[in-house]
Copies of this chain bind each other. A is one copy, B any other.
Amino acid sequence: MNTIQIQSPYVIFLGDIEDKTLAKTGAGLAKWCQDDVLGQLRLPGCKVDLGLADISLDEAVANGAKSLVIGVATVGGSIHADWLPVFAKALDKGLDIVNGLHTDLATIPMLMAAQEHSAGRIINVRHVGRTLPIATGRKRTGLRLLTVGTDCAVGKKYTALELTRALNAKGIDATFRASGQTGIMIAGEGLPIDSIVSDFVSGASELLSPDNSAEHWDIIEGQGSLFNPSFSAVSMGLLHGSQPDAFILCHDIARERISTCPDYPIPDLQACIQLHLDCARIVNPQVRCVGVSVNTSSLDPGKRRDYLTRLQAELELPCVDPLIDGCEAFVTLIAKQFHQSDTGKAHAES
């Protein structure tokens, strides 16, 4: 695939940050790529601990590290001056620097110079260096599921990752397809859809889930929301380029207003499913919604169960909190609707 490729094993760079919420990129990697992560590299003053082994650059290189991944997301995407000598030294030692911040590290003179004499590369995950095609709308082989949302940051990446794991556990072949910077670091490849020029968003989305075997699922990480007026362009392009056979709607029950547009309420779930069906049918008339993934962390356990039971009865779809319930309910419905047996293998192998 002509996407961004990242080499593991990783060292996660945490710098000197004091606030754990700034380390969500690193935390995502620690959770989803444990086997690819050698440890965390922290500078003096760092108060965040991802529960990984502390490791120096020399130790990392001795243990076969290939990439230093910047695991922090500072406000405004700024790079602290203290970090630069560390990045330069990592390049000197032949490591790639994987950067998910908006700042293009390759424009910083110290790092440009270091890169010139190094086998290591600066990989700006948000910058797509290649020429992208315009979407053709051609139907591709294989099956695709896209996670969509009532807003951004409502669990689309988490749901896609957890569903991929649950499908594979059930013997259904599935690949997580990353469309955002953290997802790309977790998967080791992908395309940062929100950073792509709008004319090429659908074309990039087509590249993200290429032709595959008939019973293989691409589980595509969604972006934004059709109902978030700031990012609906991203969501629409990803929807049309993905040509999904199925989608899961993600929702955070604590969210009352659209995150970037406080004048807008969170949409009604049934209306949200309907608009996604209407838009997705343009590229795949067979598309269906196969469930709702709800972040219920703001409810106590009794109310949580009542809410999901009511929602499930109302929508006639599996409604779960994947962090608590897992994604098995979605897998069961997918196996029933798209595969001849619940292992998902009968149709492909018979």
| Interface residue ranges, A against B (CB under 8 Å) | 75-76, 102, 133-139, 193-199, 201-203, 226-227, 229-238, 240-241, 258, 260-261, 263-264, 267, 275, 278-279, 282-283
Contact = CB atoms under 8 A, between A and B. Distances in A.
7 shortest interchain CB distances as A-B pairs: A233-B237, A137-B261, A236-B236, A201-B233, A229-B240, A137-B229, A194-B199
A263 B285 CA distance: 13
Contact of A261 (B136, B235, B279): B136
A170 to B, nearest CB: 31
B202 A232 contact: yes
Contacts of A236: 226, 232-233, 235-237
A232 B240 contact: yes
Contacts of A75: 134
B201 A263 contact: no
A152 to B, nearest CB: 10
A234 B102 CA distance: 19
18 contacts: A76-B133, A102-B197, A135-B230, A136-B261, A138-B261, A138-B263, A196-B197, A198-B234, A199-B234, A202-B233, A226-B236, A227-B282, A229-B283, A232-B236, A233-B236, A233-B237, A267-B282, A279-B279
Contact of A202 (B76, B137, B229, B278): B229
Contacts of A237: 198, 232-233, 236
Nearest to A264: B137
Contacts of A279: 226, 232, 275, 279
A194 B200 CA distance: 9
B76 A134 contact: yes
Given A234-B233, A278-B278, A260 B198 contact: no
A337 to B, nearest CB: 24
Nearest to A133: B76
Contacts of A76: 133-134
A198 B263 contact: no
A268 B138 CA distance: 21
A260 B229 CA distance: 26
A17 B346 CA distance: 53
A139 B264 CA distance: 10
Contacts of A195: 197-199
